[in-house]
Amino acid sequence: MKFKPKLIFEFAVNLLLPWLAYRAALPHYGQTGALYASAVPPLIWSLAEFARFRRVDALSAFVLLGIALSIAVMALGGSPRMLLVRESLVSGLIGLVFLGSLALQRPLTFYLARATLARQQAEGPARFEMLWREIPALRGALRLMTLVWGAGLTLECLLRCWLAWYWPVERVLVVSPIVSYAIYGGMLLWTLWYQRRLRARRG
């Protein structure tokens, strides 16, 4: 995994520019207006990525769902602190969906992996279905991944909600994206390590 210019720019868009937009808008529009202004850079980035690749990735989906939640919160007369946790409410909901899918015959991670293989090769989904039926270790591994990601997303939501409730608004605006990136990065690194471990076990 290498840091590319696009990745560095994406970090700036999602970490630095929201804070700068907040600071610029705060004297003119107050906390609520400044928080809406902080959502503009990630939103523009998501729309630009969609216009370029004609698809919505996970980060873009989080941002767009967060904006939708912001509009809903505003319509209900929500406070600035509620606006701070709009993306975390989305990740928390997705985390609960991950955890809830463990009660099903096939967890959510199974469908995500199969969809990824479908984009890579035509025969990928059929082969993955066969491996799911024939290899118990694969079924256990996907359930463990589902548990880890579900718990991680739920924990991220709870932690950011706690920060939004007890910390000053501007500090939360700066720190909470770092917390999210740290949790997502930790889960991603664990997933890569676990995948390599599974491959090594099977030779």
Nearest of 47, 45, 41, 91 to residue 65 by alpha carbon = 91
Tokens of 180: 């999210």
Q: What DSSP assignment string belongs to 41-99? A: HHHHHHHHHHHHHSS--HHHHHHHHHHHHHHHHHHTT--HHHHHTHHHHHHHHHHHHHH
Cβ proximity of 59 and 46 under 8 Å: yes
Q: Write the pLDDT tens digit of every residue in 5-14.
A: 565 666 666 6
30-34, 115-119, 149-153: which is most confident: 149-153
Q: What is the CA radius of gyration of the chain?
A: 19
| CA quadruple 6, 7, 8, 12: dihedral sign | positive
Mean pLDDT, all residues of the chain: 76
Q: Write the pLDDT tens digit of every residue in 37-60.
A: 777 777 777 777 667 766 555 555
Residue 6 to residue 24: CA distance in whole angstroms: 25
Tokens of 162: 């706690």
Give the residue with greater pLDDT, 177 vs 87.
177
Contacts of 164 (CB under 8 A, 6+ apart): 81, 82, 84, 85, 88, 172, 176
Residue 69 pLDDT class (50, 70, 90 cuts): low
- Taking the whole predicted model, whether its pTM rises above 0.75 is answered as no
What is residue 100's three-state secondary structure?
helix
Residue 31 pLDDT class (50, 70, 90 cuts): low
Look at 1-10, 74-83, 97-106, 193-202 and tell me which has the smallest mean pLDDT.
1-10
Q: Write the pLDDT tens digit of every residue in 121-152.
A: 667 778 888 888 888 888 888 899 999 999 99
